[in-house]
Amino acid sequence: MGVIAVLAFHEPERVRLSLEALYLMSLAAIMFFVCLMCGYISKIRSDLASAVTRIGELAHHDPLTGLFNRRNLMERLEIEIARCDRQMRRGITLCMIDLDHFKRINDTFGHPVGDEVLIGVGKCLANSIRVIDYVARYGGEEFIILLEADSDDLAFVMCERIRAEVGKLEIPAIQELSINVSIGMASFAKGESSAKLIERADKALYLAKANGRNCVRAAPLS
């Protein structure tokens, strides 16, 4: 702009103001368009980053309860087992938790109320464990907690406390019913696979429900 002004003053015959004005307007329009495109691209990149983060969360979290899902559980369990095998940390106890009489709740009050119960239990479990522990929804009305514990006795006490906290849970739609859970525990044995550990906890859970007991410890791995 300054150069055009100088030329127009000293050599007016070389300057066609109307044409220069058109060039300047075109340049201004192009710059404005470029700024708009840069802003749009920046927004697209931000939205894409948010979408990728959200997809990652959905891949590892249960959409109903917000807890970790089975996929994340299996990944975490392999990591915990590897650490235990290297003797870099305390032992872990896998606790398989099942809601008692959940089918009756669904059949009597409907699935929306059943979902409300699952959400409430999930929050209760998450609030009942320590920061060093882990909880996930395994599937259906089953949850799994990984406890860091030096002994079976400590893990058993923690499971009883978790069960008691769930028993205090109040669901407005079913105030006349109490929420109870059964728990099967299995403490990791060196060299044991994740599948075997889950299998032992599942068998202990079966015994707990079959015998009307609240919490059953799996027999040591032979």
Alpha-carbon span 89 to 45, nearest angstrom: 41
The answer to whether the beta carbons of residues 136 and 72 sit under 8 Å apart is yes
Cα 60 to chain centroid distance, Å, stands at: 5
Of these residues, 141, 160, 165, 199, which one is catalytic?
Answer: 141
The answer to whether the beta carbons of residues 78 and 72 sit under 8 Å apart is no
The answer to whether the beta carbons of residues 128 and 120 sit under 8 Å apart is no
Q: How far is CA 177 from CA 117, 167, 200, 209, in A?
A: 11, 10, 30, 18
Q: Is 141 a residue of the active site?
A: yes
Residue 196 phi, psi (nearest 5):
-70, -40
Q: Which amino acids are annotated catalytic?
A: 141
